[in-house]
Amino acid sequence: EIFALSFLLGVFMGAMSAVTLKVMNIRDHGHCVLEAVVTVVFPWASYFLAEAFEFSGIVAILFAGIVMANYTYENLSDDAKTLTREMYKAAATLAETFVFLYLGMSIFAFQATSESSVTSLLMIENA
């Protein structure tokens, strides 16, 4: 039940973003930053609405993104498409950097015996 409601909320919010861009016709007015903001606000809103109703925010944002990739993207201007592609690419790079930095720092956060440290280093070296 939680999955189905989260799915429906995500699909609804994704569809609403496409309809919003189509009805408001922002692409003809040269506001590519505003178009890019819409691609961030609607998934964010679906996540927080799902969490507010005690659904799964992850499922809602996943399906909002899937719907938006298929329908909202087509309603963006060419400049907004380029901007959002580069914006999400930069965000993905930052997130990936953070994850690997965090994992690297966690190696030194735990006290370990010398035997387990050598084993860990050998595992990292062989990976």
User: For residues 33 and 83, is the Cβ–Cβ distance under 8 A?
Assistant: yes
* Confidence (pLDDT) at 55: 94
3-class DSSP string for 15-50: HHHHHHHHHHCHHHHCCHHHHHHHHHHHHHHHHHHH
Other beta carbons within 10 angstroms of residue 15's beta carbon come to 16
Q: Along the 127 residues of the chain, how does pLDDT read in single tens digits?
A: 899 999 999 999 999 999 988 888 777 777 888 888 989 999 999 999 999 999 999 999 999 999 999 998 888 888 999 999 999 999 999 999 999 888 888 777 766 555 566 666 666 665 5
Backbone torsions φ then ψ of 20, nearest 5 degrees: -60, -45
Question: Is 93 within 8 Å of 44 (Cβ atoms)?
Answer: no
Q: Which pTM value belongs to this model?
A: 0.72
Integer Cα distance of 91 and 105 in angstroms? 21
**pLDDT value for 63:** 96
Dihedral (CA of 95, 39, 14, 2) sign: positive
Residue 88's pLDDT is 92
What secondary structure letter does DSSP report for 99? H
